[in-house]
Structure 1
Amino acid sequence: MFSWALTFLVIGLIAAVFGFTGIAGTATNIAWILFVVGIILAIVFAVAGRRGPRI
């Protein structure tokens, strides 16, 4: 998730430099959503991984 978020962030920055504001805004929003989803999944997996062995 984080690699995709970073990819879309770089695409957004490059598009902003060249003046494509619509593409830059969309890519930045996608990067933000992927980053938040990645953080949520990391927290869920960290909490779920702390459980003891199932009997």
Structure 2
Amino acid sequence: MLYWAVVFLVIALVAAVLGFGGIAGTAIGIAKIIFFVAIILFLISAIFGYRGRGTPRL
């Protein structure tokens, strides 16, 4: 998911250099959303992964 955030960031940078301000703004907005969703999903999986481990049964 972070890969897609970087892809949209690169698209935004290229669009900004070429003078397409509207496309650049949209792409950077999408990149921000994807980045924060990825961070939230990482934190959720880290919390549940930590809680999911119990004591080993013998």
- Coordinate RMSD, CA, aligned: 0.8
Q: Which runs of 4+ in 1 moved over 3 A?
A: none
Partner of 1:9: 9
Partner of 1:22: 22
Cα distance between partner residues in 1 of 2:38 and 2:27: 16
The count of aligned residue pairs is 53
Cα distance between partner residues in 2 of 1:35 and 1:2: 6
TM-score, with structure 2 as normaliser: 0.88
Q: Higher Cα Rg: structure 1 or 2? A: 2
Q: Secondary structure at the match of 1:49?
A: helix
Structure 2 stretches of 5 or more lacking a match? none
Structure 1 stretches of 5 or more lacking a match? none
TM-score, with structure 1 as normaliser: 0.92
